[in-house]
Amino acid sequence: MSYKIDGLTPATRAADVAATVAASRTGGARNEPISAAAEPDRLSLTGDAEGLKAMGRELGAAPAGIDMGRVNALKAAIADGSYKIDAQAIASRMLDLDRELGR
């Protein structure tokens, strides 16, 4: 994934705007344009971001491999308070994962 860095941070933009406002109050003029105030922020997505966006649309459209009957049963059990959490099983699986990652 890539990001475009233009060297203008919010702090430098704020300082530029503040200096322009101060110059206009004192009657002074600046030779630099007010780039932060004059231009709206723009966003452009990289190829990676476009790919992730497309993948998100595909995954959201078709729940491939998801047992919706089980999902709905779990939702109902959580809603009515009958879903019980097995803390011992969760802890055991977390320790197993930690061991696997440690290798």
Segment 8-23, tens digit of pLDDT: 556 566 666 666 666 6
The reply to whether 15 and 46 lie within a common domain is: yes
Percent helix, strand and coil across the chain, each to the nearest 5:
65, 0, 35
The answer to whether residues 34 and 21 touch, using CB atoms and an 8 Å cutoff, is: no
The reply to whether 56 and 76 lie within a common domain is: no
The tally of domains found in the chain comes to 2
First to last CA, the chain: 28
Enclosing domain of residue 7: 1-62
Quote the tokens at residue 69: 């009957």
The reply to whether 71 and 58 lie within a common domain is: no
Q: Tens digit of pLDDT for each residue in 23-60?
A: 666 655 555 555 556 678 887 778 888 888 888 887 77
The reply to whether 9 and 46 lie within a common domain is: yes
